[in-house]
Structure 1
Amino acid sequence: MSQPPPPPLDSATAMAAAVREGELTAQEVVEEHLARIGRIDPGVNALTVVFADRARSAAAEIDAAVKAGRDPGPLAGVPISVKENIDLTWSATTNGWRGLADAVPARDAAVVRRLRDAGAVPVARGNMPDFGMRWDTDNDVFGRTLNPWNRARSAGGSSGGDAVAVATGMSGIGLGNDFGGSLRLPAYAAGVVGLRPSLGRVPRAAVREQPVALTLQQFSVNGPMARRVDDVALALGVMQGWDADDPVSIAAPAVRPDAVPRRVGVVRDPAGLEVDPDVAAGLDRAAASLARAGWEIVDAAGPLLEEAAVLWRRLSCTDMLISLDPAALGLPLGRSATQFLRDSTAAARPYESAREYAQAWARRAVIAAEWRRLQVEVPVILGPVSMSRMREPDYDLGGQEAADRAWRDLWLTVVVNFLGLPALALPTGLGADGMPTGVQLIGPMFGEDVLFEAGRAVEAGVPALPPVPSPF
């Protein structure tokens, strides 16, 4: 009698269930992913360090727990990649910068610890640009991450390495962060699902003696990427919650899907310019899928969208000039990061006085109130991650004009960071250019469960992506 086929390895949820039920061993899952890394990563350069021996040892411990009848956790045996700016004691937290090449942390970050306690197995580190401040993934330490769908297109940034690792099956979950689209843009580029949680829901880096820029406190969050909506939902359930080391983290209340109207507002043209036809087609597919699932679809405009995008940019660049000053760092940034900082800050006009800086933050409350009032009636906003298709590598470099274009494409994306809202990026099939199309769903504060319900409707109603092209 023939044996049934093994469970699929394209879903973290299915992987963990198979390991817990004894259909697969964690060691089999890890070995398959290590084999993929060996075969695929030389062609895309998504991963900076591979933990083959440590991963095998961790998998053996999980298998021993299963054999002994103990619960190995909801992520049993799921291979994960961890971005280079999130503490994992197995290697240095370099932030993609040579000045931190030896900065091996003494403790895992809270999110890493929680994932490992839930049975996840780190298999590698994900590549990123210096300090995560570009919309492409390249640095002087590890080099460029390539987009597996088309090497002439950017892989996005700054969590580009983890997005590519997930898309190509080298990891089941990618752990990254999002200050200005750094989870959602690479997810769009690679054709995976990326969740930017609400501000405070998921712990970030431990805060001890070093001061933290206000924009980092308010705009940046840690979050997961995976190939399915259910997988990011599973990861969020493990990662979320109050942590003593992050004063912004809270035990967040959850907005129940049945407590808000099933209404989606579609923002089709965030910057008042014509969006790319493939972007528009992806939005139409997502809206149609939601309508078929019983959601009411209405047209919407993000309140004070341009002002919010401008404030995000000026505040971010003001803080970056201070926190990334080479005189304070002790070593210069890498080549491309230096160029990006110069171009972006020149275009953004950083604030020169404390009065201007304070007034900008004061306006944030006004804009957030307008969005909150909108989302009482229209809880979910559907819009593009980027108004354009993914451009060429280094598209965010080349002077003020290139910097302006890269930022304008992402108005709706960066406004989410400015306001601290949750957002879910997910693919909507292939475009005419053979690259994934995608959208983002923006929820009310702490409305991740609402986003997951809407995201599942989109996922079920759009064409599934084919396997990423090979050979690599």
Structure 2
Amino acid sequence: MTEQDIWQLSATELTRLTRSGGLSAEAAVEAALGRMAAVNPDLNAVVEDLSTQARSRARALDKARERGVEPGPLHGVPVTIKINVDQAGHATSNGVVALKDLIAPADAPVVENLQKAGAVVIGRTNTPEFSFRADTDNPLHGRTHNPWGRHISAGGSSGGAGAAVMAGIGALAHGNDIGGSLRFPAAANGAVTVKPGLGRVPAWNPSQRAERGLLAQLMSVQGLITRTAEDLHLAMPSLIAPDPRDPFHVPMPWRGTDTQQPLKVAFTRNTHGYDLHPEVEAALLTARDALRDAGYIVEEVEPPNVFDAGRSGYRALMGEIHALMKADVDAAGSQTVRDIFAVYFQEFPPFTGDELLKVMAQRTHFARQWSLFMQDYPLVLSPFLPQPFFRPDRDTEGAAGVQEVLGCAVYSYAMNFLGLPAASVPARLAELPGGPQPINVQIAAQRWREDLAVDACKVIEDRVGRMCLPLWKRMQRAQ
């Protein structure tokens, strides 16, 4: 097996070999490092190269296996970690120049869980300043480019993660999501992800000096971006392992109890006043047909009002951000990010004072509506964005830019406010004037049922194919 064959393997394919002894962890890691050296200079997805320690860890894993130590479920799988999460001895810069020397004293739970499972961290990936844009650029590390071409943003805030994993730099990429930061990069790059529900993955940064705001705690989650749905089934059970440093973690198994079959899916094309692009509609119809053909009962029916839930939630988050984070953005952020935040506050007027308390209480009403609806429809298939993914720096172009990037993305941040799982999977490769572009759809799921959303992603992926394959052909032609 050549090095190129190895870096192209999914995590599931890779672990069949590394765990059985058919491939060493060192060979798996070396192939990923070779791919990183070949493509990362053009992409700038990985901004801290951990090749030396990755090689050392891979050799140690091989030696342990030779001694008879049982290999972990992710034995030798190369992974990347986003730079806003603590990894012992490395800067948790969050894309901010003023934080470039904030060295983590210990690993965050998500890093620890991945490494306990046998994964090998090969690098740390880029994020926008304060991890609060749907596009990835910052003064500390620069811009991350989309491997499909520079006509598309790489997404954000886990843009480095999405670009890296789709380009073949590691089989798994860690990211996180407070309003769409796993799903935006997945959609931009044609990757697969599931935003876990509230409490699923333990979270905490040992370097943090104060606890995060309550809404940030309720809306932000840790997760993975992958090239194939089956890798989420492989890796997420390790990611959700308990950690006492997160007192609100919910220690439930990855696979839920059997559900009544066939499963019902609510299907909606409603974009709440924003134009639905024909390519997005075509992707939705492909996903719908794939699920129907696989035996799901798919009905075109409106779920509870996602626009009210999403807008209320994001305005509440903006209220918390304005109170707790604006001073840091003003003091340490670039002029670009300060200008973007000014437009955020204009387009999502922050709830404050009594209004904020009331909308926080209203959150339970929205969640109850969805809980009741999902008794009948455990899955909801919807657009992620109503239009194909936007170009780089679109969010710097005033109110119109922010509306195209975030204003229309109510299916994204509504799920964070509700605390529900939501997956993103490519359902079409569109040929557009700027060039080819993947189109992802979103599948929301009942609370605690990320596994059902990933199952549905697998069905759609089986129909459409892995989006990395045409991407790699495109990248090869461009070399």
Instruction: Report the TM-score when normalising by structure 1.
Output: 0.95
Compared CA separation, residues 368 and 325, structure 1 to 2 (3 A): same
CA 1:231–1:90: 2 relative to 1, 3 Å = farther
Task: Answer whether contact 2:6 2:31 (CA < 8 A) is retained.
Answer: no
Q: Which residue of 1 aligns with 2:451?
A: 449
Equivalent residue runs for 1:375-414 within 5 Å: 375-414=374-413
2:113, 2:241 within 8 Å by CA — same for their partners in 1?
no
Q: Structure 1 residues 266 and 330 mapped into 2: Cα distance closer, same or farther (>3 Å)? A: closer
Aligned partners of 1:290, 1:79: CA distance in 2, in Å? 32
Higher deviation after alignment, 367-376 or 15-24: 15-24
- Residue 252, structure 1, aligned to residue 252, structure 2: yes
Say whether the 8 Å CA contact 1:147–1:164 is kept in structure 2. Answer: yes
Three-state SS of the structure 1 residue aligned to 2:461 is helix
1:7–1:23 CA contact under 8 A, matched in 2:
no
Structure 2 alignment gaps of length 5 or more: none
Match of 2:293 in 1: 292
The structural deviation recorded for 1:330 is 8.7
Per-residue deviation, 1:340: 1.4
1:442 Cα deviation from its structure 2 partner: 0.5
Question: 1: CA distance between counterparts of 2:292 and 2:144?
Answer: 37
Q: Distance in 2 between matches of 1:362 and 1:260?
A: 35
Alignment of 1:46-195 (within 5 A): 46-195=45-194
Alpha-carbon offset, residue 407 of structure 1: 2.0
Measured after TM superposition, the shift of residue 272 of structure 1 is 3.3
Report how far residue 8 of structure 1 moved: 7.0
**Contact 2:7/2:28 (8 A) holds in 1:** no
Mapping of 1:12-51 within 5 angstroms?
12-51=11-50
Say which is worse superposed, 226-235 or 403-412, in terms of deviation.
Answer: 403-412
Quote how far apart the aligned CAs of 1:261 are.
Answer: 5.2
Amino acid at match of 1:308: A
Q: Which amino acid aligns with 2:278?
A: P
Once the two structures are TM-superposed, the CA of residue 399 in structure 1 deviates from its matched residue by 1.8
* 1:264–1:381 contact (8 Å) kept in structure 2: yes
State the alpha-carbon separation in 1 of the partners of residues 244 and 466 from structure 2.
Answer: 41
1:282 and 2:289 correspond: no
Contact 2:94 2:129 in 1 (8 A): yes
Give the deviation of 1:347 after TM superposition: 1.6
Which amino acid is the alignment partner of residue 214 of structure 2? L
Aligned pairs (5 A) from 1:359-378: 359-378=358-377
Distance 1:259 1:241, change over 3 A: farther
Does the CA contact (< 8 Å) of 1:6 and 1:23 recur in 2? no
CA offsets 1:113-151 (integer angstroms, 9 cap, x no match): 111011100000010011111010011100111111121
Match of 2:213 in 1: 213
Structure 1 residues 9, 48: closer, same or farther in 2, change over 3 A? same
Residue 463 of structure 1: how far off its partner (Å): 3.8
| Structure 1 match to 2:340 | 340
Aligned to 1:467: 471
2:122 is paired with a residue of what secondary structure? strand
One-letter identity of the residue aligned with 1:83: K
Say if 1:157 and 1:182, in contact at 8 Å, map to a contact too. Answer: yes
Instruction: Output the CA distance in 2 between the equivalents of 1:171 and 1:335.
Output: 34
1:218 alignment partner AA = L
Query: What secondary structure does 1:467 align onto?
Result: helix
1:436 is the counterpart of 2:438: yes
Tell me how far apart the structure 1 counterparts of residues 247 and 334 of structure 2 sit (CA, whole Å).
31
1:418 pairs with 2:417 = yes
Which residue identity does 1:242 align to in structure 2? P
What is the CA-CA distance between 1:319 and the residue it aligns to? 1.5
> Tell me, which stretches of 5 or more residues in structure 1 are unaligned?
none
Following superposition, the deviation at residue 260 of structure 1 comes to 6.5
In the TM superposition, what is the alpha-carbon distance from 1:449 to its structure 2 partner?
1.7
Same amino acid, percent of matched pairs: 32
* Matching residue's letter, 1:72: P
CA distance in 2, matches of 1:325, 1:457: 43
Task: Give the partner amino acid of 2:70.
Answer: D
Mapped to 2, the partners of 1:74 and 1:212 lie a distance apart of 32
Q: TM-score normalised to the size of structure 2?
A: 0.93
